[in-house]
Amino acid sequence: MGNKREMQNKKDQQLESFRVEDEGKKLTTNQGLKVSEDEFSLKAGERGPTLMEDFHFREKMTHFDHERIPERIVHARGFAAHGEFQVYDSMKEFTKAKFLQDPSVKTPVFVRFSTVAGSKGSAETVRDARGFATKFYTEEGNYDLVGNNIPVFFIQDAIKFPDLVHALKPEPHNEIPQAQSAHDTFWDFIANNQESAHMVMWAMSDRSIPRSFRMMEGFGVHTFRFANEEGKAHFVKFHWKPVLGIHSLVWDEAQKIAGKDPDFHRRDLWESIENGDYPEYELGVQLISEEDEFNFDFDVLDPTKIWPEEEVPVKIIGKMTLNRNVDNVFAETEQVAFHPGHVVPGIDFTNDPLLQGRLFSYTDTQLIRLGGPNFHELPINRPVCPFHNNQRDGYGRQTINKGQVSYHKNSLAANTPQPASEEEGGYAHYQEKVEGRKVRKRSESFKDHFSQAKLFWNSMSEVEKNHIIEAFSFELGKVQSKSVQQQVVEMFAHVTSDLAKPVAEAIGANLPQSKGSSVKKSSPALSQENTIKKPDTRKVGVIIDNGFNGDEVKQVLKELQSKGIQAEFISDKLGIKKCAGGSEIEIDHTFLTGESVLFDALYVVGGKEVDPSFKDDAVYFIKEAYAHFKPIGATHVGIKWLEEQEIVEKEGVVTGADMNIFSQNLTGAVMEHRHWNR
C-alpha cells in the first residue's frame, strides 16, 4: 500500500461488512434460523412451565444477561466520533511515521472523549479532567494518542495510580459522592501526595468544566520520542488545538446543566456533526533535541510538568476533522480499546515512569473488559492494514487461520510470517543507552512540586484566579475533616498565599504562614483569556411570543446565521407563534424544557401582548444568563424587561432600534463568549 493512497474510506469500508440493517428483514436466531414466534416462550400447556428445549428463549435471554461488559474503571462516561487527519507538511526531518509525511493522505481516526471520575451514567458537566483519546488507522498499523484535556497529571509514577483512583472514586463506606472530587479521601490524598499540586491547579481552574468537547484542548501528557530515518531522535509532546478556541462553563451553570441535561456534551458533539458543523483540531508538537534534555528548570520526563510554550513553541503540523457519528455506541464507543503502546515506526517511548506503567496497564485492562486477548479483532479496533502473526485461539476469535503452522521459526511454511527489517517498515525501538542499579527511587529532578503550580497561577487572569479560589473553597467546603482542610491550605500556601489565604478564610481554616513560591514568570498561553474567539456554532436562545416583529427578527437571524450562530426559539408553549404580519415560527423549547444554561446567549424579543407568567419566565432566563456573564440582546418589549432589571447599558447587553447595528453588535458580543467586567 503506497503512502500516497488516500485511506479515509478504508476503515469505513471495513466496518461496512459488519454493519447490519434490520429494517424489512425477518426475525432469526443468531444462527440464522427464522423465528415464527417471539412473544411467548415454549411451555408444557398454555399455563404450564417453560421447557428447557426452548433454544430461542435461552439464546435471547442469555444474550440479554450478558449485554453489559464491565465499565472502564476510569473514563467510563465517554462519547466518540469518526473523522480524518491530514498533515500540513512532511515531518520527515523529525519522524519516519508515514502518516506524518504526505499532506495528500487522509488518515481515518476515531476519537473518544470522556470524564475521568464518574461512572457510565454520571453527568457530563462535572468538574473533572476529560479524556481525549485518538486512534489513527494508519497504513503501518494503529497508532493511539491517549491523552487528556489537561497536559499534566496528579502523580509521577504509575505505581501510585490505584491509590489516586481509590481516593478519587466514591468513598467505599457509603459509595458517595458520584463523579466528584469534593470529598475527604480525594483531598487527603492530595495533601499527602504533594506532587499533585500542579495538576490540582488545572483541575480547580475553568479547564475542568469545558463548554464542549469541541472547545477544549487535548494533550498527550507524556514525553514521547520522534525518530527519523537516520535514527536522530527528539523528545516530543503532543497537543490538540481546537479551531473554535478553548472555552468553559461557569460553575453554577455547569451544576444546573448536570440536572437539566446530563448528556450535554455528547448531545453537543452529536448535533454538531449531524448539522455539518464538524469539530476541528490542529495537531501541534513541542520538540526538544536530546542534547538539550537538561537545559531547562524542569525535568522533561516529569508528567507533572509542562513545557511552557514560550520556551518550547508548539509547531502546528496538521488538522483533524470529526465528520461522522457512530452507528452504535456500544459496538464502537464502548468496545474501542486504546493503548499508549500502540505506536508506529518513528514514534517511541521515554523513561517517564507514569508512561512506562501505562504500557502494561492498558492491555491488562482490555483483557478483562473485552473478554480476552482478541479485542483487536472487534471491528472498531481492527487496523486498516493486514495483520499476520502466530497468535491463535482465545475468547472471541474471528480470524480463521489456514495451514498447520503457528510458530516461529519453521520450515513447513518457509518460516512465514517472518519479521520485517527496519528498511521494510519493521518497528525498531530507539537504542537508548540504559544502565544503573535496580532501585525503588525517584530522580531528584522530579521533586519540585510547586514552581509550575505557581507558574500556572501567575498565568491566569484575575477572573480565572477568582474561579480557582471559588473552586477550592467549594471542594474543601465539602470536606468533613478539619485536619484535611488545614493540610490542603498549608500545601497550597507553598504555591501562593494569594490562593491559600482566601480559601482558608472561606472554609474557616487557620491562615497559613508560608508566602509561597518565588517563581515570577508566567505563560500567557495557559490563560483562556488569550484563546481564539469565534461566533461559529454558538447557540442563541430567542425568547418570543405572538405579535413579534417578523421582519426585524428575520433580519437579526440572517446576520447571526451568516456568522455561524445557531438560533432556537423559546416560548411558553410548543407549536406555532405568529408575527404581527402573519408569518409563523415554530417553537423549539418551552420555558420548562429549555434553560438559559443550555444556550450561549439570549435574544429577547417578546411579543405584542404577553401575560404575566410569560414575562416572569422570560425575566428568570434574563437574570440567570446575566449572572453567568452571557451576551443578551433585546428589542421592543425585551428592552423594557431589561430596563426593569437595571441591566441595560452593560457590557455584553445589546439593545437598539437599528437592526443592522443591533445584529452586528449582538454577533460581536456572542463572539466574546463571556463578559466578565460587568
Tell me: is residue 161 an annotated ligand-binding position. yes
Instruction: Give SS3 for 297.
Output: coil
- Answer yes or no: is pLDDT of 232 > 90: yes
Mean pLDDT across 73-92: 97
- Tens of pLDDT, residue by residue over 24-79, are 888 888 888 888 888 888 888 888 888 889 888 888 888 888 888 899 999 999 99
For the chain, domains (ranges, CATH) are 78-184+211-381 (2.40.180.10), 447-529 (1.20.1370.20), 533-671 (3.40.50.880)
For position 4, what pLDDT does the model report? Answer: 47
Tell me: is residue 130 an annotated ligand-binding position. no
* Burial class of residue 402, CB neighbours in 10 A (0-12, 13-18, 19+): exposed
Interatomic CA distance for residues 648 and 630, integer angstroms: 13
Place of cell 468538574: 127
Active-site residue identified among 82, 142, 148, 458 = 148
- Tens of pLDDT, residue by residue over 402-446, are 999 888 888 998 988 888 888 988 888 888 888 888 788 889 999
Tell me: is residue 112 an annotated ligand-binding position. yes
For 282-296, b/e burial (b = at least 16 CB within 10 A) is bbbbbbbeeeeeeee
Average pLDDT over all residues of the chain: 94
Interatomic CA distance for residues 79 and 279, integer angstroms: 14
Q: How far is CA 584 from CA 378, 545, 571, in A?
A: 50, 11, 13
Q: How long, in residues, is the chain?
A: 678
Interatomic CA distance for residues 14 and 573, integer angstroms: 47
Active site (annotated) includes residue 142:
no
- Tens of pLDDT, residue by residue over 641-672, are 999 999 999 999 999 889 999 999 999 999 99
Active-site residue identified among 75, 198, 494, 673 = 75
Active site (annotated) includes residue 376:
no
